[in-house]
Amino acid sequence: MIGSPWTAVLYGAALGALSGWLSRLALKRVLRSSDKVFYSVYGAGLAARFAVVLGAVWLLRHEKYIITVLFAVSLILVQMVFEAFPLKHGTKTDT
């Protein structure tokens, strides 16, 4: 499936970007909702990203150890990039 370490890093980063972007998009859509809704979506996104990591590592269980580690680390680091910057709220005319 994944032959080289660089391919593992690339695929991990791509999957991390996709899951991180989808989670951030979901949070942006409910930003103005109640706290209960916002934190429910936040928790579901956290669980979904964890499931993506577990599923990907499970699919790679027959690959070399180093490839699995590189894949998982790049996936997690890229997912964290989407959490590093706070979501903007409010309108642009607010002071």
Single-letter code of the amino acid located at 67: I
pLDDT on residue 95:
44
- Profile the chain (95 residues) by mean pLDDT over runs of 10 residues: 81 92 91 90 92 88 82 91 73 47
Which residues, 6 or more positions from 45, have their beta carbon under 8 angstroms from its beta carbon? 22, 23, 26, 27
> What are the extents of the domains in the chain?
5-80
Which residues, 6 or more positions from 38, have their beta carbon under 8 angstroms from its beta carbon? 27, 30, 31
Residue 30 has what DSSP assignment? T
Distance of alpha carbon 8 from the chain centroid: 16
